[in-house]
A and B are shown apart, each in its own frame.
Chain A
């Protein structure tokens, strides 16, 4: 159901191209497309409107889309730039100076607070050389204390808890004393999930905050949140005036418009993103990736990361070497196909590649396209598979017969294979590609999910 913004805009601009006139009316139409794209990505509808009004001014003002050779592209660029600048700004770290520094975690039920607390503890312990203490201040949820205890064990960080105590303010205060006595330099206070309209619970978190005066208060929000993100973000901000936002569950396929809604509404930086259930899946926020994601323009980085999850490192290294030497062959191609299949639904994968959604939108991408290609390769001899260069006309004829496809099919495929191989070779020489190919993708090692 999600078509990417660039598709929509290209459509909107195509008609005008025909008669060569680009008018303000057309702009208005494309603005509407942008608004809808944003709302479909869960950006709050009011914010989407304000945002697109601004885009319209820009498009008709300095950047003047009307005169552009490729108005659709320029429009997308304006939108992208604006989104990135709105969600970005100064990259802000968290404040962990203090003796101990205190970090307070708050948010709605099930948003991922406890999981994030564990991840943050691990991050501080291993990457920042700290000696953190986790604090179990959720006195309501069944087995909340057990949960954080298990996570504490997993990340090698002790957990302060008082099983009989139902008073989070007291527990939090005492934990700080405990931290001081035991040389912990950061205290991470996990709290119960609460609704912004639950007055008693909001008063409770406010009391906790006033008692422990945290150096850093973080609001945890589920990236799948819809229109309500604005209300919640605002209400929590009014009560606890948090310093930053944590966006969770970004490992799924949500478009994540909530990121824009929250940032736009409260102006607080998004300090971390959470991308899995495992303790090592914590990341900093990348406004540009987020903008692409919201606009449905593909998220090439996530695509690669997803690929990394499936590719084993040895295999990736081996492949990279082959690509560098321009020795990528049909066998490698076959194993790549198998890998891609493992990654899952082809269409949704393809949509992560920028520009791809246009091609895949109305196509029934099932595996039959793959099957065709596979059949061709399987009709080759082992020698042909490992030496694509040897394929001559008579060999191709034999292959065509073998797999029941036409010479055209065979030629087209081999040509495409050649181009792909060349491109990969070229890419492999550009910096940054090494990481993309999965070598050194150590952070995905041993992950179950």
Chain B
């Protein structure tokens, strides 16, 4: 290993030191200086805000970013401490607004083209299959013709699970069985959707940790095989994140985006006590809108993401439902 350390050692040492310099000055210190004498907001209040954010899994980096925005705003105008929470909420909503220009009004398809193809990806156990069932249900309710593609051919009983969802929803189902090539399943699901004049096809994939190179390559291949059948597809790549996940979700977003150009996020399990704050930073850093939230295991327990409600739940401590 000493070989590697030497080989990479000589350059850019200065950058490294500079980076450290920056993290060393505490942002709380900076803010309290910035607002000293300008209002009644004091360090305790800011500390409290930091705690709220950090305890909601917002993460240090995004917390710093949010507090810096507040710092700028407080420097401009004067505020009372009691108003600070509201300002904070505003700022987070603003931050989210920068990627989610508007919260969706309803469950509209991601494209005008037919069939619309949606590919669903994410790490193990986050709720991909369940979310697919819920979305299909919403489309179905609008009278759309939906097909679910059983692209998880690996995990025990994954095909059965999706099949049961398709029966619940009352939509079409396409599968080649377990242990078949998921790229082929994806391709043929698109084909099925075209032949059978479906409005939308939603393709499930096996959960995979983003660190598994081969599995991530497999995912890219699945996506490519979809495009092979329909050039403009997939029209949406939905990354499912579990709200109970901490900072690792950032790494997930990074690698799944690299492998499949994720275009929307779904945040599940918000009916629990976890706040899913990490999604704020992800949405901001990768400029991907949060589209849906999952609030239970039932078919109806999907909601369109609403910035204000999401941020409020961080502050009020009540789970969403």
Contact = CB atoms under 8 A, between A and B. Distances in A.
Contact of B123 (A36, A196, A225, A252): A252
Interface in B81-137: 123-127, 133
Contacts of A12: 20, 24
A40 B123 contact: no
B9 to A, nearest CB: 6
A112 B123 CA distance: 12
A226 B319 contact: no
Interface in B1-46: 1-9, 11-12, 15-17, 19-21, 23-24, 26
A361 interface: yes
A40 B278 CA distance: 11
Interface stretch (A316-324, A352-360, A382-390): A352-360
Contacts of A7: 20
Contacts of A2: 247
B247 A42 contact: yes
Nearest to B161: A143
Contact of A146 (B125, B160, B211, B273): B160
Interface in B160-178: 160-161, 163-165, 168
B273 A196 contact: yes
A373 B160 CA distance: 50
Q: What range describes how many residues of A lie at the interface?
A: 35 or more
A399 B90 CA distance: 63
B278 A253 contact: no
B72 interface: no
A143 B3 contact: no
B176 to A, nearest CB: 17
Given A40-B247, A344-B211, A417-B3, A147 B242 contact: no
B204 interface: no
A24 interface: no
Interface in B291-305: 297
Nearest to A279: B156
Interface of A: 1-3, 7-8, 10-12, 14-15, 29, 32-33, 36, 39-42, 44-46, 108-112, 114, 140-144, 146-151, 154, 195-197, 222, 224-229, 231-232, 249, 251-255, 257-258, 277, 342-345, 348, 350, 353, 355-356, 358-363, 365, 369, 373, 416-417, 419-420, 423, 448-449
Given A142-B164, A196-B273, A258-B246, 6 more contacts: A7-B20, A146-B160, A147-B160, A253-B211, A353-B1, A420-B2
